[in-house]
Amino acid sequence: MNENIILSSRVRLARNVDGVPFKGINSASIATRALNALREQGSYMMHSINSLTGLEQTRLVERHLISKELIDCQGSAIIRDDNKVSVMVGEEDHIREQCILPGLHLREAYAELREIDRAIGKEFKFAFNPSFGYLTSCLTNIGTGMRASVMMFLPALALTDSIGRCIGGITRLNMAVRGVYGEGSKAEGYVYQISNQKTLGISENDIVASVENVATHMVESELKAREALMQVDPEGLRDKILRSYGIICNCYTMSKSEFMELIAFVKLGVYYNILSCSDHAALEKIITDVQPASLCLGQGRRLDVGERDKVRASICAKIQQIVCRIGG
Protein backbone atom coordinates (compact mmCIF):
# COMPACT_ATOMS: atom_id res chain seq x y z
CA MET A 1 0.00 0.00 0.00
CA ASN A 2 3.02 2.32 0.48
CA GLU A 3 3.37 2.81 -3.29
CA ASN A 4 -0.02 4.56 -3.29
CA ILE A 5 1.38 7.10 -0.83
CA ILE A 6 5.17 7.18 -1.26
CA LEU A 7 5.67 8.02 -4.92
CA SER A 8 9.46 8.13 -5.03
CA SER A 9 12.68 8.24 -3.01
CA ARG A 10 15.65 10.47 -3.78
CA VAL A 11 19.14 10.72 -2.35
CA ARG A 12 21.38 13.64 -3.31
CA LEU A 13 25.04 14.29 -2.49
CA ALA A 14 26.67 17.72 -2.76
CA ARG A 15 30.38 17.80 -3.58
CA ASN A 16 32.99 20.46 -4.40
CA VAL A 17 36.42 20.08 -5.93
CA ASP A 18 39.22 20.77 -3.48
CA GLY A 19 41.24 23.89 -4.22
CA VAL A 20 38.73 25.29 -6.72
CA PRO A 21 36.62 28.40 -5.90
CA PHE A 22 33.00 27.47 -5.24
CA LYS A 23 31.78 30.14 -7.67
CA GLY A 24 32.85 31.22 -11.14
CA ILE A 25 34.24 27.84 -12.19
CA ASN A 26 34.59 26.27 -15.63
CA SER A 27 31.72 23.83 -15.12
CA ALA A 28 32.10 22.38 -18.63
CA SER A 29 35.58 21.09 -17.78
CA ILE A 30 34.39 19.49 -14.56
CA ALA A 31 31.36 18.00 -16.34
CA THR A 32 33.58 16.38 -18.99
CA ARG A 33 35.80 14.81 -16.36
CA ALA A 34 32.79 13.63 -14.35
CA LEU A 35 31.26 12.03 -17.45
CA ASN A 36 34.51 10.19 -18.15
CA ALA A 37 34.54 8.95 -14.55
CA LEU A 38 31.10 7.42 -15.07
CA ARG A 39 31.90 5.51 -18.27
CA GLU A 40 31.96 2.18 -16.45
CA GLN A 41 28.89 2.97 -14.31
CA GLY A 42 26.32 2.82 -17.11
CA SER A 43 25.19 4.74 -20.17
CA TYR A 44 25.17 8.50 -19.58
CA MET A 45 24.60 11.57 -21.73
CA MET A 46 25.83 15.06 -20.93
CA HIS A 47 23.54 18.05 -21.56
CA SER A 48 24.91 21.58 -21.52
CA ILE A 49 22.03 23.70 -20.23
CA ASN A 50 22.70 26.59 -22.61
CA SER A 51 22.48 24.19 -25.57
CA LEU A 52 18.93 23.16 -24.65
CA THR A 53 15.76 25.04 -25.53
CA GLY A 54 13.71 26.56 -22.75
CA LEU A 55 11.15 23.77 -23.10
CA GLU A 56 13.82 21.08 -22.90
CA GLN A 57 15.25 22.68 -19.77
CA THR A 58 11.84 22.87 -18.12
CA ARG A 59 11.02 19.27 -19.00
CA LEU A 60 14.12 18.15 -17.11
CA VAL A 61 12.88 20.13 -14.10
CA GLU A 62 9.39 18.59 -14.42
CA ARG A 63 10.98 15.14 -14.33
CA HIS A 64 13.10 16.09 -11.31
CA LEU A 65 16.33 15.44 -13.20
CA ILE A 66 17.68 18.95 -12.64
CA SER A 67 16.83 21.95 -10.48
CA LYS A 68 15.61 25.35 -11.61
CA GLU A 69 18.82 26.76 -10.12
CA LEU A 70 20.93 24.78 -12.60
CA ILE A 71 19.16 26.60 -15.43
CA ASP A 72 19.98 29.96 -13.84
CA CYS A 73 23.61 28.91 -13.41
CA GLN A 74 23.82 27.58 -17.00
CA GLY A 75 25.64 24.47 -15.85
CA SER A 76 25.55 20.93 -17.20
CA ALA A 77 23.57 17.79 -16.47
CA ILE A 78 24.86 14.22 -16.83
CA ILE A 79 21.85 11.90 -17.01
CA ARG A 80 21.78 8.11 -17.09
CA ASP A 81 19.64 6.62 -19.84
CA ASP A 82 17.11 5.17 -17.36
CA ASN A 83 16.61 8.66 -15.81
CA LYS A 84 17.22 7.26 -12.32
CA VAL A 85 20.62 8.91 -11.85
CA SER A 86 21.63 12.46 -12.74
CA VAL A 87 24.62 14.61 -11.90
CA MET A 88 24.33 18.39 -11.95
CA VAL A 89 27.55 20.33 -12.50
CA GLY A 90 27.89 24.04 -11.82
CA GLU A 91 24.80 24.61 -9.70
CA GLU A 92 25.16 25.85 -6.10
CA ASP A 93 27.95 23.29 -5.64
CA HIS A 94 30.41 22.04 -8.24
CA ILE A 95 28.78 18.60 -8.35
CA ARG A 96 25.41 17.35 -7.16
CA GLU A 97 24.74 13.66 -7.66
CA GLN A 98 21.28 12.19 -7.22
CA CYS A 99 19.44 8.90 -7.56
CA ILE A 100 15.63 8.68 -7.76
CA LEU A 101 13.75 5.39 -7.41
CA PRO A 102 10.00 4.73 -7.29
CA GLY A 103 8.39 3.92 -3.94
CA LEU A 104 10.17 3.78 -0.59
CA HIS A 105 13.67 2.72 -1.61
CA LEU A 106 15.97 5.20 0.10
CA ARG A 107 18.50 2.54 1.10
CA GLU A 108 18.72 1.22 -2.44
CA ALA A 109 19.04 4.76 -3.84
CA TYR A 110 21.87 5.53 -1.42
CA ALA A 111 23.66 2.25 -2.20
CA GLU A 112 23.54 3.05 -5.90
CA LEU A 113 24.58 6.66 -5.43
CA ARG A 114 27.48 5.64 -3.22
CA GLU A 115 29.01 3.82 -6.19
CA ILE A 116 28.50 6.90 -8.36
CA ASP A 117 30.14 9.07 -5.71
CA ARG A 118 33.12 6.72 -5.45
CA ALA A 119 33.61 6.74 -9.22
CA ILE A 120 33.55 10.55 -9.42
CA GLY A 121 35.71 10.73 -6.29
CA LYS A 122 38.45 8.85 -8.11
CA GLU A 123 38.57 11.64 -10.69
CA PHE A 124 38.42 14.56 -8.23
CA LYS A 125 39.69 15.29 -4.76
CA PHE A 126 36.63 16.58 -2.94
CA ALA A 127 36.79 19.53 -0.54
CA PHE A 128 36.74 17.87 2.88
CA ASN A 129 37.56 18.96 6.41
CA PRO A 130 38.27 16.33 9.10
CA SER A 131 36.21 18.26 11.65
CA PHE A 132 33.28 19.31 9.49
CA GLY A 133 33.12 16.77 6.66
CA TYR A 134 32.35 17.69 3.04
CA LEU A 135 32.47 21.44 2.43
CA THR A 136 29.56 22.98 0.54
CA SER A 137 28.45 26.40 -0.65
CA CYS A 138 25.50 26.42 1.74
CA LEU A 139 26.28 25.87 5.41
CA THR A 140 23.17 23.72 5.84
CA ASN A 141 24.73 21.03 3.63
CA ILE A 142 28.12 20.81 5.34
CA GLY A 143 28.95 17.40 6.77
CA THR A 144 27.63 14.54 4.73
CA GLY A 145 26.37 16.83 1.97
CA MET A 146 23.36 14.51 1.82
CA ARG A 147 19.68 15.21 1.28
CA ALA A 148 17.45 12.18 1.44
CA SER A 149 13.83 12.79 0.50
CA VAL A 150 10.56 11.07 -0.27
CA MET A 151 7.76 12.36 -2.48
CA MET A 152 4.46 11.61 -0.76
CA PHE A 153 0.83 11.73 -1.90
CA LEU A 154 -1.11 12.94 1.17
CA PRO A 155 -4.61 14.00 0.08
CA ALA A 156 -6.50 12.74 3.12
CA LEU A 157 -4.24 14.56 5.58
CA ALA A 158 -4.81 17.76 3.59
CA LEU A 159 -8.56 17.27 3.17
CA THR A 160 -9.06 16.53 6.89
CA ASP A 161 -6.98 19.60 7.83
CA SER A 162 -4.43 17.38 9.58
CA ILE A 163 -1.45 18.16 7.36
CA GLY A 164 -0.42 21.26 9.33
CA ARG A 165 -0.18 19.31 12.58
CA CYS A 166 1.82 16.54 10.91
CA ILE A 167 4.20 19.02 9.29
CA GLY A 168 4.72 20.75 12.61
CA GLY A 169 5.57 17.42 14.21
CA ILE A 170 8.13 16.31 11.66
CA THR A 171 9.84 19.71 11.41
CA ARG A 172 10.68 19.30 15.10
CA LEU A 173 12.52 16.15 14.02
CA ASN A 174 14.85 18.18 11.76
CA MET A 175 12.82 17.45 8.64
CA ALA A 176 11.76 19.88 5.92
CA VAL A 177 8.44 19.73 4.05
CA ARG A 178 8.27 21.30 0.61
CA GLY A 179 6.19 21.18 -2.55
CA VAL A 180 6.61 19.04 -5.64
CA TYR A 181 9.64 20.91 -6.99
CA GLY A 182 11.41 21.60 -3.72
CA GLU A 183 11.96 24.81 -1.80
CA GLY A 184 9.42 27.54 -2.59
CA SER A 185 7.15 25.32 -4.70
CA LYS A 186 3.53 24.36 -4.06
CA ALA A 187 2.18 20.98 -3.02
CA GLU A 188 0.30 20.42 -6.30
CA GLY A 189 -2.10 17.49 -6.27
CA TYR A 190 -1.49 17.00 -2.53
CA VAL A 191 2.09 15.87 -3.20
CA TYR A 192 4.69 16.83 -0.61
CA GLN A 193 8.46 16.37 -0.47
CA ILE A 194 9.90 15.43 2.92
CA SER A 195 13.65 15.57 3.50
CA ASN A 196 16.29 15.82 6.21
CA GLN A 197 17.56 19.21 7.32
CA LYS A 198 20.49 18.06 9.44
CA THR A 199 23.65 16.99 7.59
CA LEU A 200 26.36 17.75 10.16
CA GLY A 201 27.23 15.39 13.01
CA ILE A 202 25.15 12.52 11.64
CA SER A 203 26.05 9.63 9.33
CA GLU A 204 24.59 8.98 5.89
CA ASN A 205 22.98 5.77 7.11
CA ASP A 206 21.37 7.60 10.03
CA ILE A 207 19.97 10.24 7.68
CA VAL A 208 18.43 7.57 5.46
CA ALA A 209 16.99 5.77 8.49
CA SER A 210 15.50 8.95 9.96
CA VAL A 211 13.78 9.97 6.71
CA GLU A 212 12.55 6.40 6.26
CA ASN A 213 11.09 6.39 9.79
CA VAL A 214 9.31 9.71 9.25
CA ALA A 215 7.96 8.50 5.90
CA THR A 216 6.60 5.35 7.54
CA HIS A 217 4.92 7.44 10.23
CA MET A 218 3.39 9.70 7.59
CA VAL A 219 2.04 6.66 5.73
CA GLU A 220 0.33 5.50 8.92
CA SER A 221 -1.13 8.97 9.48
CA GLU A 222 -2.37 9.21 5.88
CA LEU A 223 -4.03 5.79 6.08
CA LYS A 224 -5.84 6.78 9.29
CA ALA A 225 -6.91 10.04 7.65
CA ARG A 226 -8.25 8.13 4.61
CA GLU A 227 -10.30 5.95 6.91
CA ALA A 228 -11.66 9.00 8.70
CA LEU A 229 -12.38 10.78 5.41
CA MET A 230 -14.55 7.91 4.22
CA GLN A 231 -16.40 7.69 7.51
CA VAL A 232 -17.34 11.39 7.61
CA ASP A 233 -19.24 11.49 4.30
CA PRO A 234 -18.89 8.27 2.26
CA GLU A 235 -21.51 9.21 -0.33
CA GLY A 236 -20.09 12.70 -0.79
CA LEU A 237 -16.58 11.34 -1.21
CA ARG A 238 -17.74 8.71 -3.69
CA ASP A 239 -19.58 11.39 -5.67
CA LYS A 240 -16.49 13.64 -5.70
CA ILE A 241 -14.32 10.77 -6.94
CA LEU A 242 -16.70 9.76 -9.72
CA ARG A 243 -17.29 13.36 -10.79
CA SER A 244 -13.53 13.88 -10.95
CA TYR A 245 -13.15 10.75 -13.05
CA GLY A 246 -15.98 11.79 -15.35
CA ILE A 247 -14.61 15.28 -15.91
CA ILE A 248 -11.00 14.23 -16.44
CA CYS A 249 -11.96 11.65 -19.07
CA ASN A 250 -14.57 13.73 -20.91
CA CYS A 251 -13.45 17.36 -20.87
CA TYR A 252 -12.62 19.60 -23.83
CA THR A 253 -10.06 21.76 -21.99
CA MET A 254 -8.12 21.07 -18.80
CA SER A 255 -5.80 23.45 -16.95
CA LYS A 256 -2.80 22.07 -15.12
CA SER A 257 -4.12 23.09 -11.70
CA GLU A 258 -7.52 21.51 -12.34
CA PHE A 259 -5.86 18.34 -13.63
CA MET A 260 -3.69 17.98 -10.52
CA GLU A 261 -6.75 18.35 -8.28
CA LEU A 262 -8.89 15.89 -10.24
CA ILE A 263 -6.19 13.26 -10.71
CA ALA A 264 -5.69 13.24 -6.94
CA PHE A 265 -9.32 12.17 -6.48
CA VAL A 266 -9.02 9.60 -9.25
CA LYS A 267 -6.06 8.06 -7.41
CA LEU A 268 -8.06 8.14 -4.19
CA GLY A 269 -10.85 6.33 -6.03
CA VAL A 270 -8.40 3.57 -6.93
CA TYR A 271 -7.35 3.30 -3.29
CA TYR A 272 -10.96 3.03 -2.11
CA ASN A 273 -11.77 0.44 -4.83
CA ILE A 274 -14.32 2.79 -6.36
CA LEU A 275 -12.14 2.82 -9.47
CA SER A 276 -9.80 0.17 -10.83
CA CYS A 277 -6.41 0.89 -12.42
CA SER A 278 -4.86 -1.72 -14.70
CA ASP A 279 -1.49 0.03 -15.07
CA HIS A 280 -0.26 2.36 -12.31
CA ALA A 281 2.98 3.16 -14.16
CA ALA A 282 1.02 4.26 -17.24
CA LEU A 283 -1.15 6.52 -15.08
CA GLU A 284 1.93 8.16 -13.53
CA LYS A 285 3.38 8.63 -17.03
CA ILE A 286 0.26 10.51 -18.11
CA ILE A 287 0.67 12.80 -15.09
CA THR A 288 4.21 13.57 -16.26
CA ASP A 289 3.28 13.90 -19.94
CA VAL A 290 0.63 16.58 -19.34
CA GLN A 291 2.99 18.95 -17.50
CA PRO A 292 3.47 22.12 -19.60
CA ALA A 293 6.95 21.61 -21.10
CA SER A 294 6.55 17.86 -21.55
CA LEU A 295 3.21 18.43 -23.23
CA CYS A 296 4.64 20.99 -25.69
CA LEU A 297 7.63 18.81 -26.56
CA GLY A 298 5.27 15.89 -27.08
CA GLN A 299 3.51 18.01 -29.71
CA GLY A 300 6.77 19.16 -31.23
CA ARG A 301 6.12 22.88 -30.78
CA ARG A 302 5.49 25.61 -28.23
CA LEU A 303 1.79 25.95 -27.36
CA ASP A 304 -0.03 28.84 -25.74
CA VAL A 305 -2.06 28.20 -22.57
CA GLY A 306 -5.33 27.59 -24.43
CA GLU A 307 -3.71 25.12 -26.81
CA ARG A 308 -2.03 23.30 -23.94
CA ASP A 309 -5.31 22.95 -22.09
CA LYS A 310 -6.98 21.37 -25.14
CA VAL A 311 -4.12 18.95 -25.78
CA ARG A 312 -4.00 18.07 -22.09
CA ALA A 313 -7.70 17.22 -22.20
CA SER A 314 -7.19 14.93 -25.20
CA ILE A 315 -4.40 13.10 -23.36
CA CYS A 316 -6.55 12.86 -20.23
CA ALA A 317 -9.16 10.96 -22.25
CA LYS A 318 -6.66 8.09 -22.42
CA ILE A 319 -7.04 7.61 -18.67
CA GLN A 320 -10.29 5.72 -19.23
CA GLN A 321 -8.26 3.06 -21.06
CA ILE A 322 -6.43 2.15 -17.84
CA VAL A 323 -8.83 3.36 -15.12
CA CYS A 324 -12.43 2.22 -15.00
CA ARG A 325 -15.37 2.41 -12.61
CA ILE A 326 -15.82 -0.73 -10.56
CA GLY A 327 -19.28 -2.16 -11.07
CA GLY A 328 -19.81 -0.35 -14.38
DSSP per residue, 122-148: HHS-B-EETTTEE--SSGGGTBT-EEE
pLDDT attached to residue 23 = 74
Q: Distance from CA of residue 66 to its chain's centroid? A: 10
pLDDT attached to residue 181 = 61
**Domain coordinates of the chain in residue numbers?**
2-225, 234-325
pLDDT attached to residue 179 = 79
Q: What is the torsional sign of CA 114, 116, 117, 118?
A: positive
pLDDT attached to residue 324 = 95
pLDDT attached to residue 3 = 67
pLDDT attached to residue 185 = 55
Give the Cα separation of 100 and 29 in Å (integer): 26
Of 250, 248, 249, 266, which Cα lies nearest the Cα of 258? 248
* Total-model pTM: 0.91
Neighbour-count burial for 10-49, b at 16+ CB within 10 Å, e otherwise: bbbbbbbbeebeeeebebbebbeebbebbeeeeebebbeb
**For the domain bounded by 2-225, which CATH number is listed?**
3.30.590.10
pLDDT attached to residue 28 = 83
pLDDT attached to residue 187 = 75
DSSP result, 274-312: SEEES-HHHHHHHHHHTSHHHHHHHHTS---HHHHHHHH
Q: pLDDT per position in the chain (328 positions), as tens?
A: 566 899 999 999 999 999 988 876 678 889 999 999 998 889 999 999 999 999 999 999 999 999 999 999 889 999 999 999 999 999 999 999 999 999 999 999 999 999 999 999 999 999 999 999 999 998 889 999 999 999 999 999 999 999 989 988 998 988 999 876 655 556 789 999 999 999 999 999 999 999 999 999 999 999 999 999 999 999 999 999 999 999 999 999 999 999 999 999 999 999 999 999 999 999 999 999 999 999 999 999 999 999 999 999 999 999 999 999 997 5
Q: In sequence order, which ranges of 136-203 are alpha helices (DSSP H)? A: 155-159, 163-171
What Å distances lie between residue 151 and 2, 173, 184, CA to CA? Answer: 11, 18, 15
pLDDT attached to residue 279 = 94
